[in-house]
Amino acid sequence: MATYPSNPSISQGTNETAVNPTNWNMLVDNINAIGSDIVDARGDGQEFPGTDHTASQATDLDEALQAVRHILADISGETNWYDAPSANLKLHDHSTSKGGAIPWSSIASNTRFAELHPEYPGAVWTASLRGAAASGNNTASLSTDQDVVSYIARNYYEATSSEASLQDYYVALRFTLPEDFNAWAQSNAVQIEYKTESGTYLNSSVALYIYKAGTFALVASSENNSNTIWSTITVDDSALGSWSSGDIVEMYLKLKTRNDYYARVGKIRFNYTS
C-alpha cells in the first residue's frame, strides 16, 4: 500500500537492498501515488507534497515545479523530502537539500570524430610543401587503389618511384573543423593510417605536416614513418594547441619512395570534443 505523502520517506536503494515483492510493490505504489499527485495538481494555495491533498491544490506552476524538485531530490538520495533542493538541478552531490537532475554530461558523451577515406574530399597531389619550391626529386608514379587485409578494405594514395634516389610527392588537403568542435581529444587528436613496402625510411616513408590556415608556423609534424603493415601516425592534442570551430586544418602527407618501394596513406581521423 502506498505511504506517500503521509509518510514520504523512501529508503535509498543500495547494492545490498533486497529485491522482494514487498519492497517492489511499495516502490511501485509510491511512484503511482506521486504520478497521480502531479497529474491532479491544480491551484488553490495548498503547497505540496507534504500533506495529503486532492485535485486543485497547487496554486501555480512554481509550486508544481517545486513538487517535481522534491521528487527528484528523493529519487537521487535526498534524506529530507520537505527541504527544498538548494543546488542547481544540473549540479548536485546527492547530499541533503541538493537533489537534482543528473548532469547531461554524465549520460551523453561529448566525444566526436570525423573520418576521411581516400580519395579525401578537397585533397590534391602537389610537388611542394605549402607553396614552397619543389624539392626537385619528384619523379614518381601516383595512384589510388584499395588494400584488403583480414576482410578490412582500406582505400589509399600511393607513390612509387624506380629512381635510385629518394623521390617525394605530397597529398595536400584542407579540412574545416565542424560547428560542434570545442577542443581536440587528448592523446589521439589526429590519426593517419599508412603502410610502406620497405621497413626502413631510407627506401620508403610517410611524413606529416600540419598548419592552421592563415598562420605561418608549422603546428605539428611527424617524419620518417615506415612500417610494412598498416600502422598509425598519432598526433597528441598538446602538439596542436588551441583551435576553434571553423578553423581550417592544412595537412600535407609526404610520400617518399625509391627503387620501386611504395609508400601509402589511408584513413585520416580527427578526434575532438564538442
Residue pLDDT, tens place only, 149-199: 889 999 999 999 999 999 999 999 999 999 999 999 999 999 999 999 999
Domain boundary pick from 73, 96, 119: 96
Roughly what angle, to the nearest 10 degrees, separates helices 21-40 and 61-75?
170
CA distance 46 to 58: 5
Flag the least confident range among 86-100, 198-212, 220-234.
86-100
Q: Are 128 and 167 in a shared domain?
A: yes
Domain boundary pick from 34, 64, 96: 96
Top-confidence residue, 12 or 127: 127
101 neighbors 72 (Cβ within 8 angstroms): yes
Q: Residue 52 in 3-state DSSP? A: coil
Residue 146 has pLDDT above 80, yes or no: yes
Name which of 148, 256, 135 is nearest 200 in CA terms. 256
Task: State the sign of the Cα–Cα–Cα–Cα dihedral 213, 215, 220, 222.
Answer: positive
DSSP for residue 158: E
Ramachandran region, residue 50 (left: φ > 0; alpha: ψ -120 to 50; beta: rest): left
Flag the least confident range among 74-83, 190-199, 254-263.
74-83
What's the one-letter identity of residue 66?
Q
Top-confidence residue, 202 or 4: 202
| Confidence at residue 97, expressed as pLDDT on a 0 to 100 scale | 47
User: Which grid coordinates belong to 117?
Assistant: 577515406
Top-confidence residue, 202 or 54: 202
| Confidence at residue 71, expressed as pLDDT on a 0 to 100 scale | 60
Share of the chain above pLDDT 70, in %: 61
Q: Are 52 and 125 in a shared domain?
A: no
- Summarised one tens digit per residue, pLDDT across range 39-75 is 555 444 444 444 444 444 444 555 555 666 556 555 5
Overall domain count for the chain = 2
Overall average pLDDT of the 239-259 stretch = 97
| Confidence at residue 254, expressed as pLDDT on a 0 to 100 scale | 98
| CATH code of the domain covering residue 174 | 2.60.120.200
Overall average pLDDT of the 240-259 stretch = 97
- Is there a domain that residue 12 lies in? no
Q: Which domain holds residue 179?
A: 111-273
Q: Are 237 and 205 in a shared domain?
A: yes
- Mean pLDDT for all residues in the chain: 79
Residue 129 has pLDDT above 60, yes or no: yes
CA distance 127 to 81: 72
Flag the least confident range among 10-19, 24-33, 91-100, 101-110.
91-100
Residue 220 has pLDDT above 90, yes or no: yes
